[in-house]
C-alpha cells in the first residue's frame, strides 16, 4: 500500500523564490496531515507557465539536479523519506525543456522531458529527447507524463507495456473536460493508477482548470480537487492491483492486443 498525494496551487509567475517557499509549505503539510509517501506537483511548478518572451524562460530555467529548487526538493525527500515529483523549467546548455524531476529518500532519481509540446510551448522549449522510462518506488513501478502527453494514447499505452503501476501526470491544463476526464479512460484501457496534479489561477489569457485527480485502474476517481481552490488531495492505493490486466474471464487489455494488424501498409 502507498499513500499518494497531488498538490494543486497557483504558482506566482516568474517568482522562483516565492514558489519555493510555497512548495515547501505544501509538501510539509501533505506529509504532516496526510502521511504522504509519494507527492506530485504540477507542471512548471517554480516558473509559472504562460511565457511571453524567451528571456522569461531563460531567467527562470534551472539545471537538474543542482538548482536551488532541485536542492529544496531533494532535501525534503531525504529528510522526510518520501518521493517527490515536480514540474520544472529545465536548462541544458542552450536548450530548454518542460521537464519533470523525481527525488526520493536517497536523492535524485530521474528526469523526464515533455514529449508532446502544446501550442506556444513550441516557441520556447525543445521537444523531449529522453525515452519514456519506468522507475521504482519501493516495489512499485512508476511512469511520467506531462500535460498534453495525455492527448496521444501511445504514451500511456507505452508506459503500460513497460509495466507501470502508477503514472504521475503533471499538468497546467486549460482545456475544459480534458485530461481529468481523459485520464479515467487511460486508466480503464491500461489498468493502472494515475495521479494527476494540475494547477489553478490565471496567467494573462489562460485560466487553469484545477480538478487534480487520483484515479484507480478501473477509471474510478478516488479523490478530486475543485476547479479553483488550493488543495492537497490524497488517497491510500494498492499499486499491485494494476498488475491485474484482466477485464473478465476472456479479456486481457495487453495480451489481447494484435499489433500485427495495427501496422500501416
- pTM as predicted: 0.96
Of 126, 114, 122, 97, the residue nearest 150 (C-alpha): 114
Of 213, 207, 145, the residue nearest 180 (C-alpha): 213
Give the sheet arrangement for strand 107-113, strand by strand: 107-113, 95-104, 83-92, 38-40, 2-8, 231-237
C-alpha–C-alpha distance, residues 41 and 204, integer Å: 22
Average pLDDT over residues 232-242: 98
Domains of the chain, by residue range, sit at 2-261
C-alpha–C-alpha distance, residues 2 and 174, integer Å: 29
Q: Which residues are catalytically annotated? A: 43, 114, 147
Look up cell 526520493; give the residue.
Answer: 104
Q: Are 162 and 132 in contact (CB under 8 A)?
A: yes
The CATH number of the structural domain formed by 2-261 is: 3.60.110.10
**Residue-wise pLDDT tens digits, 25-75:** 999 999 999 999 999 999 999 999 999 999 999 999 999 999 999 999 999
C-alpha–C-alpha distance, residues 169 and 146, integer Å: 6
If pLDDT is split at 50, 70 and 90, which confidence band does 178 have? confident
Q: According to the model, what pLDDT value does residue 57 have? A: 98
Q: Are 189 and 219 in contact (CB under 8 A)?
A: no
**Residue-wise pLDDT tens digits, 119-145:** 999 999 999 999 999 999 999 999 999
C-alpha–C-alpha distance, residues 261 and 263, integer Å: 6
Average pLDDT over residues 141-153: 97
The DSSP result for 204-250, as a single string, is TTEEEE---EEE-TTS-EEEE--SSS-EEEEEEE-GGGGG--BSSSS
Amino acid at each position: 500500500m502507498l499513500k499518494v498525494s497531488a498538490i494543486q496551487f497557483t504558482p506566482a509567475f516568474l517568482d522562483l523564490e516565492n514558489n519555493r517557499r510555497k512548495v515547501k509549505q505544501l509538501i510539509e503539510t501533505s506529509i504532516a496531515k496526510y502521511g504522504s509517501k509519494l507527492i506530485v506537483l504540477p507542471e512548471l511548478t517554480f516558473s509559472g507557465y504562460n511565457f511571453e518572451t524567451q528571456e522569461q524562460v531563460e531567467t527562470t530555467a534551472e539545471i537538474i539536479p543542482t538548482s536551488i529548487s532541485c536542492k529544496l526538493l531533494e532535501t525534503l525527500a531525504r529528510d522526510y523519506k518520501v518521493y517527490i515529483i515536480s514540474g520544472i523549467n529545465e536548462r541544458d546548455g542552450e536548450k530548454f525543456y518542460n521537464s519533470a524531476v523525481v527525488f526520493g529518500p536517497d536523492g535524485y532519481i530521474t528526469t523526464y522531458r515533455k514529449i508532446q509540446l502544446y501550442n506556444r510551448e513550441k516557441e520556447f522549449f525543445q521537444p523531449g529527447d529522453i525515452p519514456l522510462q519506468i522507475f521504482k518506488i519501493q516495489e512499485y513501478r512508476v511512469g511520467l507524463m506531462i500535460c498534453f502527453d495525455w492527448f496521444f494514447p501511445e504514451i500511456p499505452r507505452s508506459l503500460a507495456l513497460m509495466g507501470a503501476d502508477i503514472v504521475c501526470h503533471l499538468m497546467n491544463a486549460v482545456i475544459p473536460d480534458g485530461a481529468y476526464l481523459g485520464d479515467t479512460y487511460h486508466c480503464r484501457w491500461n489498468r493502472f493508477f494515475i495521479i494527476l496534479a494540475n494547477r489553478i489561477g490565471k496567467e494573462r489569457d489562460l485560466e487553469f482548470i484545477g480538478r487534480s485527480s487520483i484515479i484507480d485502474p478501473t477509471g474510478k476517481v478516488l479523490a478530486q480537487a475543485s476547479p479553483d481552490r488550493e488543495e492537497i488531495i490524497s488517497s491510500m492505493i494498492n499499486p499491485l492491483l494494476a498488475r491485474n490486466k484482466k477485464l473478465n474471464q476472456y479479456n486481457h487489455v495487453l495480451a489481447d492486443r494484435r499489433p500485427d494488424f495495427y501496422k500501416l501498409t
